[in-house]
Amino acid sequence: MTGARILVVEDDAELRGQLLRGLAEEGFRPEGTATGAELLERVKRAGPDALIVDIGLPDADGRDLCLALRAGGVQAPVLFLTARDSLAERLSGFDAGGDDYVTKPFAFTELVARLQALLRRAGADGASEVAGVRLDPLAHSASVDGRSVPLTPTEFRLLACLLGRPDEAVRRRELVRAGWPHGAMVRENTLDAYVARLRRKLRQLEARLAIATVHGVGYKLE
């Protein structure tokens, strides 16, 4: 899908420049930035067709950024770049809403092929809020109408998972995968305790949604 607008988020200026030049030569319309804050601002102004996101950014974890985008309704495909290739790292990227994963160093031709495949499968893009709730992956907070509450990293990931699937029952095991590292032993009452904390914080924000229990399944926002 040539002509597609691609946002490259990479703090290594040399690598970012190489990607921008190479993507332009392939017929894409690439733009580059070095920080998560700028990523969020650019997506807000005009949603890209796809994003290439380095996980290790100076101001945020790329996976948290992806979680915030998905929670805000952005469905543009995300291709993660990382120097780490463990199974746990790859799984955490997919659980955060990433669509594919390329490990540095990589062959540019492979990256282009993966990007084109993602674009062929892509759905609608564009940012939105869910019932006025917005997540900030830089401050790890949730806000409604200017009011905000801080979130722990686990609370952030759990709420992002629920916001990304409004009106849909999310199974307990999916929430555990979203909230905790791969292989972590999480008791059932631990998840319930975190959900109770999120319920209190949503009430603090006077949010127009609440977390409902779906008995025998998990939780949903409604």
| Domains in the chain: ranges and CATH | 5-121 (3.40.50.2300), 134-221 (1.10.10.10)
H helical segments located in 126-180: 153-163, 172-179
pLDDT at 129 over 80: no
Tens of pLDDT, residue by residue over 75-128, are 899 999 988 777 777 778 877 888 898 988 899 989 998 898 888 776 433 334
pLDDT bracket for residue 24 (50, 70, 90): very high
Q: Please enumerate in sequence order all residues whose Cβ is within 8 A of that of 145, keeping only pairs 6 or more positions apart, or say none.
A: 132, 206
Residue 95: the pLDDT is 79
pLDDT bracket for residue 215 (50, 70, 90): very high
Mean of pLDDT over the chain:
87
Tens of pLDDT, residue by residue over 167-190, are 789 989 889 888 887 777 888 899
Q: Which residue has the tokens 């495949």?
A: 117
d(CA 26, CA 37): 27
Given a contact cutoff of 8 angstroms between Cβ atoms, the answer to whether 97 and 70 are in contact is yes
Tens of pLDDT, residue by residue over 140-170, are 899 999 899 999 989 998 998 898 887 789 9
Q: Please enumerate in sequence order all residues whose Cβ is within 8 A of that of 23, keeping only pairs 6 or more positions apart, or say none.
A: 6, 8, 30, 112
